[in-house]
Chain A
């Protein structure tokens, strides 16, 4: 019998050197030796900049500043590091015995005019600091170094959200920098109970993953569970919060999303207030919220900003389109190929005449149209924007007109597929929409086999699956099953904010009242 060969990811060379202890050594007294070790451990990488300095008299100590090019802010380096060291140092520092070790300490305490300075004594740390965008200050005859936090903040500015667009509501969205993102949240929730725990995930990427929650509201068990799962992650790199999501949910499969992601700080804050946990990953503007309920994916931030009766209308529309998106073609197939008696006579006549001369069975017809549509949609998303427009025109022409005129498909089917497509766009959460689009094909197969009965069987299956889901110990269908009177104030119907005095039961039982 052939044994399964486990897939082992190839290790990054630098990483393995660090790991295997060649540089797991303490800093030496000799400056050049220290610098050489660093250069060696980074493989003489050319973006490592070495700036040799001489701390002026009366100290006259040789030193060096190391940094990775581009990771630090040059202006900060010039203004607050070099100037302080080379111009202001002599005046500011006490003239004591002048051993470089003490000099370093005084520099740390009195000379550097930047916020975050940390000292280290081993190479591993130094390399890590370097890679995280610190500038390293080393002095000759000193087995200690300083890491100066002057990381470059030259990233994308805060912009408007592009995916979760609202007509009314705040216009800021997360960026790729974790620090900026946490600030966006902090600014909205000025409470001492707001906690941020930063973990590093990924051997190679060393991604900062922030765990944010309100200690006085969030369920401790959920927080602990999420933290434990994050800590247990063994992987080389986390590049997007999506990678984390899969790790967090690895012990059960479901096409349905069980962790919410958002690029809107206001949504994160609302969820924190409901006792949920936000997971912020460095390098992506998508913040995860766990645990997420099913209904959350059918809600939009705007629901809470517009008047509540408008929300009722919009949400009803969304729930409806949820089913249309999942069942539209399936029901059409079921009715036209199994239950023709359900059609009014006139409609039946018009549909039959449309179908005269169509070569495919209704199921194949639907399949062709659906797949064509999915191709178009995917093409539209991946293409650069100007071409995307062209694609949609071509699509509309091909699907809407030509196919029907050529007798490939019936006009009725075109209508059904378009309505289905539109419905799937109404669902605010993209990941739920994808899940439904996949299930749609399953439903179509069932409908083509067993008609309406098949659709029911499919729906039962989906329902049972949804009922069995318990992400992070919270029932996925919360507020429908288990039924919760109080939670009905925020399901299809959203009660006015003033009347919603209770937080969701499952995540916030510690501190249940809002007001």
Chain B
């Protein structure tokens, strides 16, 4: 067994946790706000496109087995253009890390520890993130495996405990939402789930052996992730209703508050915060991993660990004010982020693939060199 490889099971769980990521916390209210009681249809749509995207990402990743996305850019487009695209990606990873860390701080300071400075929350969380990035992808994969178990356990308990609180009539009438609303909801959902999944390209071609099992890991992971989101969205609609959910910053958290089984199992929202922190952890870690590894590869450092702490400090700083307030964040998430994610998650990879295809067909002799992986 190769010590550096990630098993397919681990990869499945990484994909799933990564998709669930921050989405489980902040997305339900946005989606329900737009698509009302039909939000679950939007979620289904998003899962469908998510599967499609997962397949494409897998195929795209196969173009450069053994390399990362950044290396592929450099390789394919040469020093200047390649590094240019790479820098755009790194900027994206930077935005991803900082905004997610902001989300952690925002959630914690508004719902869990209200008087604690955001700096402290972000700082402590970032320490964990930096530690896992420094320990390497294999460690991240293993912790993802365990975190996934814990997550799933709490999640299932959570969903079952919610059941007594649901009102089935909340989901009626079905299909009232207009097509644009459904489309937008699905697009936003997608921008939180599969559109940004390309960060996996920063390590998966190197660490996961290619083949059918990997493709399946991609698809199964996407299915699990989207399934979890779908259930949370449905539960939010059923238990909180389409009127209350959009008002709440963190519908999932409020959902945990309404749990009351036999007047005994209640007041457990504190325990349920575990869910959000676990799901966030893998995603931020991956973003930060991509950021430092990408940076190290652009400037060609031999060891990416060197820049983890300084970059971590910058991320921490920006995470304090990246969104000036919650309204800015809400508007950004609805209006700008989906397009931004789309550019990096679909447009650029497509362009890269086209360039690759073009160069490979025009330079058949170079193929061996361009993709040493194809054969191996």
Contact = CB atoms under 8 A, between A and B. Distances in A.
Nearest to A477: B142
B277 interface: yes
B121 interface: yes
Contact of A450 (B120, B135, B146): B120
Contacts of A341: 267, 270
B146 A467 contact: yes
B333 interface: no
Contact of B124 (A335, A452, A457, A475): A457
Interface stretch (B19-27, B67-75, B82-90, B125-133): B125-133
B139 A468 contact: yes
B156 to A, nearest CB: 17
B116 A450 contact: yes
Contacts of B121: 450, 453
A288 B108 CA distance: 46
A451 B274 CA distance: 12
A398 interface: no
Contacts of B3: 470, 473
Interface stretch (A1-9, A200-208, A458-466): A458-466
A463 B125 CA distance: 14
A85 B124 CA distance: 79
A228 to B, nearest CB: 18
A344 B146 CA distance: 31
A454 B124 contact: yes
A481 interface: yes
Nearest to A476: B142
B145 A483 contact: yes
A460 B145 contact: no
A78 to B, nearest CB: 59
Given A467-B139, A468-B136, A470-B3, A453 B277 contact: yes
Interface string A93-122: 000000000000000000000000000000
Most buried by A among B7, B131, B146, B149: B146
B143 interface: yes
Identify which of A342, A467, A506 gathers the most chain B CB atoms within 10 Å of its CB: A467
B74 to A, nearest CB: 29
B145 A468 contact: no
Interface string B146-168: 11010000000000000000000
Interface string B105-123: 0001000110010001100
Contacts of B140: 467
A477 B146 CA distance: 9
B331 to A, nearest CB: 28
A451 B113 CA distance: 8
B135 A468 contact: yes
Given A344-B267, A457-B125, A467-B139, A481 B132 contact: no
Contact of A482 (B9, B147, B149, B270): B9
A451 B9 contact: no
A416 B152 CA distance: 29
Contacts of B145: 480-483
Interface in B246-293: 264, 266-271, 273-274, 277, 281
B72 to A, nearest CB: 27
> What's the interface size class on A, roughly?
20 to 34
A460 B124 CA distance: 11
Contacts of B131: 461, 464
A482 B113 contact: no
B65 interface: no
Q: Is the interface of B mostly helix, strand, loop or mixed?
A: helix
A471 to B, nearest CB: 13
A343 B267 contact: yes
B59 to A, nearest CB: 26
Interface in A432-478: 450-454, 456-457, 460-461, 463-464, 467-468, 470, 473, 475, 477
B194 to A, nearest CB: 24
Interface string B316-346: 0000000000000000000000000000000
A59 interface: no
A338 interface: yes
A339 interface: yes
B270 A481 contact: no
Interface in B5-34: 7, 9-10
A335 B268 CA distance: 11
Given A338-B113, A468-B136, A483-B10, A452 B270 contact: yes
Q: Which of B116, B140, B266 has the most CB of A within 10 A?
A: B116
Contacts of B136: 468
B264 to A, nearest CB: 8
Contacts of B149: 480
A457 B270 CA distance: 14
A339 B267 CA distance: 10
A451 B121 CA distance: 11
A463 B143 contact: yes
Given A451-B112, A482-B10, A464 B143 contact: yes
Interface string B75-109: 00000000000000000000000000000000010
Interface string B195-207: 0000000000000
A189 to B, nearest CB: 27
Nearest to B147: A463
B107 to A, nearest CB: 10
A464 B128 contact: yes
Contacts of B268: 342
Contacts of B113: 338, 450-451, 453
Nearest to B125: A457
A461 B143 contact: no
A479 to B, nearest CB: 11
Nearest to B257: A341
Contact of A452 (B1, B10, B112): B112
A452 B142 contact: no
Contacts of B124: 450, 453-454, 457
Nearest to B133: A464
A509 B141 CA distance: 22
A453 B132 CA distance: 18
A456 B274 contact: yes
Nearest to B146: A481
A456 B112 CA distance: 13
Nearest to B263: A344
A480 B145 CA distance: 8
B112 A464 contact: no
12 contacts: A341-B267, A341-B270, A343-B267, A451-B113, A453-B121, A460-B128, A463-B147, A467-B135, A473-B3, A480-B146, A483-B7, A483-B145
Interface of B: 1, 3, 7, 9-10, 108, 112-113, 116, 120-121, 124-125, 127-128, 131-132, 135-136, 139-143, 145-147, 149, 264, 266-271, 273-274, 277, 281
Give me the 7 closest cross-chain CB pairs, A-B, nearest first: A481-B142, A467-B142, A481-B145, A468-B135, A468-B139, A467-B143, A467-B139
Given A457-B124, A470-B3, 9 more contacts: A341-B267, A344-B267, A453-B108, A453-B113, A453-B277, A456-B273, A464-B132, A464-B143, A468-B136
